[in-house]
């Protein structure tokens, strides 16, 4: 079988390759024909540019070495099932991930029948479903705060994860939601979300003046989704005393924090919200597994309770991947959600 793939051939070098491969399925595996895949900009660009925190390790993970087939966000149709697959059938539309944590930007991928493969309900287009994993990350960034009805929240960074987090905040019972980003195009995409005030980082709602009052008047909850040191420091600055800050982004830079002033004095609670730390199946301590959050996101989309189409700024053929990644590296302000079409 010929499989077409997007390949990170070397640092800052992207190619399209077609290879003949003998895809023999294990009994619990399925073959999925990819319909759409989505760029996870934080992780993929860090891998491509060699800026990931693990890129310079003596023995970096295989997915950070070159060459590699990037991506972990894909949707498509089941083409074939192994002899022991019982929960899925040929023709099912599914959310799938390539083997390991990578390998999803390809025309065909093999996946295991597991909690990580989710069927798509009727009425949910591929372009929305392909962001389900990032939606789960944004949802986790909110859920881990354990907010209360009537509190307020600020969201820093309006990339895909931040945009999704803002949409979840809009239905979560906050009295005030402030979304923050320096890029005007990203702010425009968030302006249509009900109940959300969208501002630039220098706005009085979140600037240094706000920080000076934050000991008593700051935000109960802050979601730091920018992945940048400046965004993280501003998030700490505007959180009120005993406020809560979650970090669902993928920062790969050092941040210098004066712990007494920024954390201890204000008794801040800071939560890392790495998506893969969520359980695969519900537990007594955490009933919201990643698959359950994906299903909830799909239900919200199907019912029209949240609108995610504006998050996709570029819907292009996979063949345009080399120029797309060049644009993402050189002109990030021109991009938001990037979806590759494999049909």
Query: Residue 50 has which token pair?
Result: 């060699």
pLDDT at 97: 77
Terminal alpha carbon distance of the chain: 16
For residues 94 and 123, is the Cβ–Cβ distance under 8 A? no
CATH number reported for the structural domain that contains residue 103 in this entry: 3.90.180.10
Tell me: do 139 and 228 sit in the same domain. yes
Domain count, the chain: 2
Residue span of the structural domain in which 190 resides: 134-277
Asked if residue 122 lies in contact with residue 302, where contact means CB atoms within 8 angstroms, the answer is yes
Question: Distance between CA atoms of 48 and 140, rounded to whole angstroms?
Answer: 26
Report yes or no on 114 lying in a domain. yes
pLDDT at 98: 66
Cα 34 to Cα 104: distance, rounded to the nearest angstrom: 8
Q: Evaluate whether residue 6 is within a structural domain.
A: yes
Q: Which residue has the tokens 């809560």?
A: 244
- Same domain, yes or no, for 81 and 94? yes
Q: Is 212 within the bounds of a domain?
A: yes
Asked if 246 and 330 sit in the same domain, the reply is no
Regarding whether 247 and 183 lie in a shared domain, the answer is yes
Q: Do residues 179 and 239 both lie within one domain?
A: yes
**pLDDT reported for residue 55:** 87
Are residues 233 and 99 part of one domain? no
Considering the domain boundaries, does residue 77 fall inside one? yes
- Could you list the mean pLDDT of each consecutive 10-residue stretch along the chain, which spans 343 residues? 95 96 88 96 93 87 92 95 94 83 90 86 93 95 96 98 98 97 97 96 93 87 95 96 93 87 94 82 80 93 95 98 97 96 94
Residue 247 and residue 180 share a domain: yes
Looking at the structure, tell me whether residues 269 and 194 fall in a common domain.
Answer: yes
Note the pLDDT of residue 44: 94
Residue 293 maps to a domain: no
Q: Are residues 204 and 94 in the same domain?
A: no
Q: Check: CB of residue 10 under 8 Å from CB of residue 37.
A: no
Residues 50 and 119 in one domain: yes
DSSP calls for 313-331: EEEEEGGGHHHHHHHHHH-
CATH code, domain carrying 199: 3.40.50.720
Question: In the prediction, which pLDDT does 286 show?
Answer: 77
């Amino acid at each position: 079988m010929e499989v077409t793939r997007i390949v990170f051939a070397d640092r800052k070098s992207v190619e399209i390759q077609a290879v003949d491969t003998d895809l023999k399925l294990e009994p619990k595996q399925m073959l999925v024909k990819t319909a759409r895949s989505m760029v996870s900009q934080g992780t993929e660009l860090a891998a491509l540019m060699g800026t990931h925190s693990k890129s310079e390790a003596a023995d970096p993970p295989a997915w950070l070495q070159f060459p590699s087939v990037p991506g972990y966000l894909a949707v498509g149709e089941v083409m074939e099932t192994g002899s022991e697959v019982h929960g899925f059938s040929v023709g099912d539309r599914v959310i799938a991930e390539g083997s390991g944590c990578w390998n999803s930007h390809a025309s065909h991928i093999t996946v295991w029948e597991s909690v990580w493969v989710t069927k798509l309900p009727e009425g949910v287009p591929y372009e929305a479903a392909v962001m389900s994993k990032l939606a789960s990350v944004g949802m986790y960034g909110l859920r881990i705060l354990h907010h209360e009805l009537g509190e307020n929240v600020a969201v820093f960074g309006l990339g895909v994860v931040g945009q999704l987090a803002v949409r979840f905040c809009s239905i979560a019972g906050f009295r005030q939601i402030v979304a923050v980003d320096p890029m005007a195009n990203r702010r425009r995409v968030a302006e249509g979300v009900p109940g959300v005030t969208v501002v630039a980082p220098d706005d009085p709602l979140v600037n240094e003046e706000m920080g000076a009052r934050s000991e008593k008047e700051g935000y109960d909850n802050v979601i730091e989704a920018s992945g940048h040191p400046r965004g993280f420091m501003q998030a700490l600055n505007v959180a009120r005393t005993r406020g809560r800050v979650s970090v669902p982004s993928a920062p790969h830079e050092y941040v210098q924090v004066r712990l007494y002033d920024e954390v201890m004095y204000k008794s801040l609670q800071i939560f890392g919200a790495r998506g893969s730390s969520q359980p695969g199946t519900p537990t007594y301590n955490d009933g919201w597994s990643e698959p359950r959050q994906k299903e909830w996101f799909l239900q919200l989309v199907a019912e029209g309770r949240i609108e995610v189409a504006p998050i996709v700024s570029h819907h292009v053929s996979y063949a345009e991947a080399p120029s797309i990644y060049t644009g993402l590296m050189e002109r990030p302000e021109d991009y938001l959600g990037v979806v590759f079409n494999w049909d």
